[in-house]
A and B are shown apart, each in its own frame.
Chain A
């Protein structure tokens, strides 16, 4: 058993700020962790798509038309455009501006709702059901995986909206809004390879 050596106090942390924004914030790091998990799942699902494509001579297998391009492309365009208000909202949250943040969260809630509605319609234009064959199964897998993420972020946007409209917005809630924007960017970026696989894979692969 050792005798503890004496302790000298060499600093005081009480002057440090009590919130942080972006990569300095703890929640940002937690969000990053979950993005890595979900990103890995997307990658593996994409790999499963390519693997199954390798097992099948015609792709899509005979009898299926490729998914209709119009709705999927509309979804993609609106999703990409949503990054403009998303980045704007992130900037306003970093500057702790109440009114623009409230406007921004409403805009993002509306855009998310429109996108979910289009996604709902997309399922009817895939021209294949999940139980037709493995091509249908893996196409639906990719679409559902991504739709779940759109829905999750939309629900988070609504809850954050309810918070910031019913009370004074605290610094940590501004940080939460910023982290939600970060997650939306992830939802946007991960869609692009899935769009390529689901909509262009049957045409080009």
Chain B
């Protein structure tokens, strides 16, 4: 597995004992080590990515030929619902949080996050959300209404049974997890930056994660609220979305998309953070336009909350409203485009070394620009009326989400893999995987633009031969299969490199940010000392400075002031505990019970109260 380092000595060994986990099962379930928690998050998201990819290939097989019987209508409905719901709620957002959980403390040269037990609770809630979707699937209770389950179709009249409940409550699980992770990330960045790392000296990745955590805090309550309203319509006969009793189905869409559109940027902005870090390292210069990039991240975050109605142009809104949201949707192209120009300028003015991480950045730029252009098209209300619910939208959203978020994520994976494991992934196989994925993706999804323009609707399980859609569908399916082979090579490369990869050392790429200052993989306490930062690229300085004095025998973290990052006080950090797991179990019991009876909310609160009390009950002073 990881490279064997010489035994730790002196204070380093004592710190490692203080911050290490107990061996065995107890250590496994009680850990609050951000690196272990993030690794679990990433392993689960990658496993789901594989499952979702297989679902996608199954759908592409079904659509490759007209009138195929591989999937019937119900099976196809379930496949795209599972694929979309899992990708949006269980993969894309959580994997970005996982990267933050792993990287933020390392980039801040801290020993853990602000609230380590909240971190553990976040993962256990996420895992139970995953099980909430996939275990019922084993028993053929699979959501089948897409990734946004609009009433009245998802209401009690048209969707009896529990398929819609499973979907709605799965969201509650994952949003509790995401909100916990976001509060943790927000506070960690605001209060735990190393001395000297003022806001103006913060790496762009940290800016991206700070802004994302705030967006999550403001966006995710909407989806929790609206799915809870849906469940209560289904369970206790409220009438939020029942027009016969004064309710309104469009209310669901408004609240859902108030979350849903920022969600796209909650996935995309962390990816911009990856792009910034990779571009800087492989171009051997600071990113061009630091201040404009930060301001454009803020602008994207603010504008993202004013665009939700462009998902609802086909609903029949007042024309003035549609015009406003068209304008707002077009405006967001400005800060997004500005960033792209900054990255191109950095590559242009730097000394680029096209290792696989930087190749993923180039693929991101090309693919995201194509997705952005089709976004400008769909932002226009009159054109959107023609394109909505066609394959053009399928092509657009995959160009934006895969090109804009997954490609940078793959680059980030290759970039930080040596830090996490101590070994480098194979560059040769990395490039093979890169070309197959990028080539297969474009072959698979570009024809969908044309299919959409030809009138092929999304979410149909088959089509007659007379439509003329078959040739492009075969191309799309072939492209998806090629990308699938590339993904398999990527995963195999990651697995085999755990044993066969070259030893990486602490800083194999010559990175400038603090995570590269510690060993690979980092010890349990991450850093022996607290670095002092005086510019944006501390590891490229001739002279590095640090502070000492944090406790060695117990867990202690340095808090700094929010703006200037001056040392403020020392904060005790909690030890490993199984209370987060027990709390997650009691919360899960209540969530699951509440889709069957409202009394679960009452009786379920008691064990939750007990476990939360156990969690926060202070230990006797030593």
- Give the interface of A toward B (CB within 8 A): 1-2, 4-20, 24, 26, 29-30, 33-34, 36-38, 40-41, 44-45, 48, 51-52, 55-56, 61, 130-138, 140-141, 155, 159, 163, 167, 170, 172-173
Contact = CB atoms under 8 A, between A and B. Distances in A.
Given A18-B570, A38-B221, A163-B617, A134 B543 contact: no
Interface string B381-423: 0000000000000000000000000000000000000000000
Contacts of B506: 4
A26 to B, nearest CB: 5
B590 to A, nearest CB: 13
A19 B545 contact: no
Contact of B246 (A33, A55, A172): A55
A22 to B, nearest CB: 12
Contacts of A24: 559, 568-569
Given A10-B532, A52-B246, A141-B229, A5 B543 contact: yes
10 smallest A-B Cβ distances: which pairs?
A14-B549, A33-B183, A134-B246, A137-B238, A12-B549, A134-B247, A41-B221, A11-B547, A13-B549, A131-B237
30 contacts: A1-B505, A4-B506, A5-B542, A5-B543, A7-B531, A8-B543, A8-B544, A12-B547, A13-B530, A14-B550, A16-B570, A17-B569, A18-B569, A20-B571, A26-B115, A26-B187, A30-B183, A34-B183, A40-B218, A51-B251, A130-B232, A130-B236, A130-B237, A131-B237, A133-B247, A134-B245, A137-B233, A141-B232, A167-B618, A173-B618
B541 interface: yes
Given A133-B239, A141-B232, 19 more contacts: A1-B507, A7-B545, A9-B529, A13-B549, A16-B558, A17-B569, A17-B570, A19-B571, A26-B571, A29-B114, A37-B220, A40-B221, A52-B247, A61-B246, A131-B239, A134-B238, A136-B239, A137-B232, A163-B618
A30 B549 contact: no
Contacts of B232: 130, 137, 141
B240 A137 contact: yes
B567 interface: yes
B533 to A, nearest CB: 11
A55 B517 CA distance: 60
B247 A7 contact: no
Interface in B607-622: 609, 613, 616-618, 620-621
A111 to B, nearest CB: 20
A13 B552 CA distance: 12
A178 B36 CA distance: 33
Given A13-B548, A14-B550, A37-B179, A56 B529 contact: no
A131 B184 CA distance: 38
Contacts of B529: 7, 9
A48 B547 CA distance: 52
Interface in B488-537: 505-508, 510, 517, 529-532
**Residue picked from B517, B532, B542, B569, most chain A C-beta under 10 Å:** B569
B613 A159 contact: yes
A82 to B, nearest CB: 22
B570 A13 contact: yes
A137 B247 contact: yes
**Residue picked from A14, A140, A167, most chain B C-beta under 10 Å:** A14
Given A17-B570, A138-B240, A26 B114 contact: yes
**Residue picked from B221, B246, B568, B613, most chain A C-beta under 10 Å:** B246
Contacts of B245: 132-134
Contact of A6 (B543, B570, B618): B543
Size band of the interface chain B makes with A: 35 or more
A44 B221 CA distance: 8
Contacts of A20: 559, 568-569, 571
**Residue picked from A4, A6, A45, A173, most chain B C-beta under 10 Å:** A4
Nearest to B559: A26
B530 A18 contact: no
A8 B44 CA distance: 41
B380 to A, nearest CB: 26
B546 interface: yes
Contact of B569 (A4, A6, A16, A133): A16
Contact of A51 (B190, B221, B248): B248
A5 B544 contact: yes
Contacts of B568: 16, 20, 24
**Residue picked from A9, A33, A159, most chain B C-beta under 10 Å:** A33
A134 B248 CA distance: 9
Contacts of B257: none
Nearest to A11: B547
Contact of A155 (B222, B239, B609): B609
**Residue picked from A19, A20, A37, A141, most chain B C-beta under 10 Å:** A37
A174 to B, nearest CB: 12
Contact of A172 (B240, B530, B572): B572
A53 B572 CA distance: 50
Interface string B174-195: 0000010011101100110001
Given A13-B558, A30-B187, A41-B221, A134 B242 contact: yes
Contacts of A141: 229, 232, 238, 240
A7 B544 contact: yes
A4 B618 contact: no
B225 interface: yes
B321 to A, nearest CB: 14
B10 to A, nearest CB: 15
B550 A30 contact: no
A48 B570 contact: no
Nearest to A137: B238
**Residue picked from B186, B229, B242, B618, most chain A C-beta under 10 Å:** B618
**Residue picked from A9, A135, A172, most chain B C-beta under 10 Å:** A9
B217 interface: yes
Nearest to A130: B238
A16 B541 contact: no
B248 A52 contact: yes
A19 B548 contact: no
B613 A44 contact: no
B258 interface: yes
Interface in B549-569: 549-550, 556, 558-559, 567-569
Interface in B227-266: 229, 232-233, 236-240, 242, 245-248, 251, 254-255, 258
A16 B561 CA distance: 13
B224 interface: yes
B222 to A, nearest CB: 5
**Residue picked from A17, A38, A133, A172, most chain B C-beta under 10 Å:** A133
